[in-house]
Chain A
Amino acid sequence: MLKTDVVVIGAGAVGCAIARELSKYNVNVIVVDKNEDVGGDASKSNSAIIHTGYDAAPGTLESQLVVAANPMYDEITESLDVPFKRIGAILPAITDEQFSQLPAIKEKAFRNHVYDVEFKTGAELLEMEPELNPNVKGGLYIPRESIIDPFILVQALAENANVNGVEFMLGAKVTDIKTSNGKIESVVTTKGEIKTTYVINSAGLYCDEIAEMVGKADYKVVARKGQFYILDKNTSCQVNHIVLPIPTKVTKGKLMCPTIHGNMLVGPTAEDQPSKVDKSTSAEGLDSIATDVKNLVPDVNLRDTITQYSGLRPNRNPEGLNFNMYDDLAGYINLSGVRSTGLTLSVAMGKYVVEQMLYSGAPFTLKENFISKRKGIIKFSEQTPDVQDTLIKENPLYGNVICRCETITEAEIMQAIHRPIGAKSVDAVKRRVRAGMGRCQGGFCGPKVIEILARELGVKASDINKNNPGSYMVTGTTR
């Protein structure tokens, strides 16, 4: 049986941030996830925004963590080489009724210790964002709302944890947690049993099912679907900020913002559903995005869409972000209600969880040789011609462009496959280097990526999955 000190269940943003934080200490950690890749669920399909927490419920753990997390991103994205931009958000009031709500929103921000929210006149907002509804009466500017590459964030946290000694057991579903005498004994997975002292449940959508295994499920996860559109980089109507609607009692509403790679993102819907696996988009949902966003940005051209997707936020019933340790179950830590703010607060949650473990007597000592920096894959398309030429001279595979839409070379795909926590599927390659994320959506590079993956992993093409097991890309050979 494998032995470790800490098992982290769930390799999403939160699980990987905790793992990376733990890797600063002399402690053995294994991260397990049922998916074949890190960041495979809620962390991959969201709005990719790093929030300030201006609109959180004041005084809650969620508010504390989001507000604490936002300023951490300058340093962490620099250290881990994660694409990140502080572009700021605007909250335009289109109707008089919306305009009258602005002071309350600003006051709430203040109570959340977000002090840099500013009032702007309609004219000022239109100057900042020319595509805005010209009827805008005024609004708020929230300068530290930011955009990030959510895939790279999770991969970077995982990779850095891994180079600092954390093991990742992917494609391993947790089937049981054994306890005895009020203590954690082991975690049973489909890839074997792991004897451990601590278990951290950061299983997101499935955290209630994990909690159930140790009898601590006093809540249920409610999947809240969010559907999105991604628009072509060359769409005619673009915004430079995160354009947020004034929230209603029912929903935070649908936004429009650029992605870190220059596409436009529009959405999301908010639909509670019983299924934790159904990530389908619907005609109704997509239509509702169109209607709502046109109130903010009338000329948004959704016909320029290159993809639509939906993600499931792991909401909690009863609501709210919860961190729990238990007197009658030593070593078990339960995180629940990590919802749409989960990506933002992940890095603060990492610190919070480890601090809580230390306070309650975990005997972790700091490592002397912690490697704090990580360098990402060099993106060919972002280099100057001279650097491009040098790259090809050093590694000729940089001269072989595989994804024409995003200009991704074979060298980048090879690195995605062979780096720590390497890509094993077509989508895992896509999330690492963006091959297939452009306007042709893998029509051109898809067949080549299957070929490269099969070659590099030494398997048949029919063994290559799009994403998780069962998502086989092709069925066999013709001859």
Chain B
Amino acid sequence: MKKEIICTVCPRGCHILVEGDEKSVFSAEGYSCKRGLEYANTEYLSPVRILTTTVKISGIDGDLLPVRSAKPLPKDKLSECMDIIKKTEVKLPVKRYDTVIADICGTGTDIVATKDIG
């Protein structure tokens, strides 16, 4: 399986062509540095993203609590995580980095507040 990956490590934006199967990378070409190669490997085998969104505050219609995943989440889990987050409400007060949802979707990563409110 071949996949073209645009490197986001630096502004150069190398187009790296990665070849491999589901478990390993056979070859990569088009990268310009070691960090680029590492990025391409991760992006090919198990791409991850930080998820940021908002959570409803109980009893309040306007303000929302901004939240993030404490660590990057598997890309293919993001939409499942959003389904949970959309149903979640928090009670005030909330402190920055308070856990809002622990171990979301069994990923081992928490959804945490990014701001103090209340």
Contact = CB atoms under 8 A, between A and B. Distances in A.
Chain A in direct contact with chain B (Cβ < 8 angstroms)? yes
Interface of A: 451, 477-479
B55 A479 contact: yes
Contacts of B86: 479
Give the dominant DSSP class at B's interface.
strand
A451 B62 CA distance: 9
B64 A479 contact: yes
Interface string B45-76: 00000000011100001101000000000000
Interface residues of B, number: 7
Interface of B: 54-56, 61-62, 64, 86
Nearest to B62: A451
B111 to A, nearest CB: 14
Chain A at the B interface: SS class: loop
A479 B56 contact: yes
Contacts of A479: 54-56, 64, 86
9 contacts: A451-B62, A477-B61, A478-B54, A478-B64, A479-B54, A479-B55, A479-B56, A479-B64, A479-B86
Nearest to A451: B62
B67 to A, nearest CB: 12
Nearest to A479: B56
Nearest to B60: A479
A477 B54 CA distance: 12
Contacts of B54: 478-479
Given A451-B62, A479-B55, A479-B64, 6 more contacts: A477-B61, A478-B54, A478-B64, A479-B54, A479-B56, A479-B86
Contacts of A451: 62
Nearest to B64: A479
A477 B64 CA distance: 11
Contacts of B55: 479
A243 B42 CA distance: 66
A478 B86 CA distance: 8
Nearest to A478: B54
Which residue, of B54, B55, B62, has the highest number of chain A Cβ atoms within 10 A? B62
Contacts of A477: 61
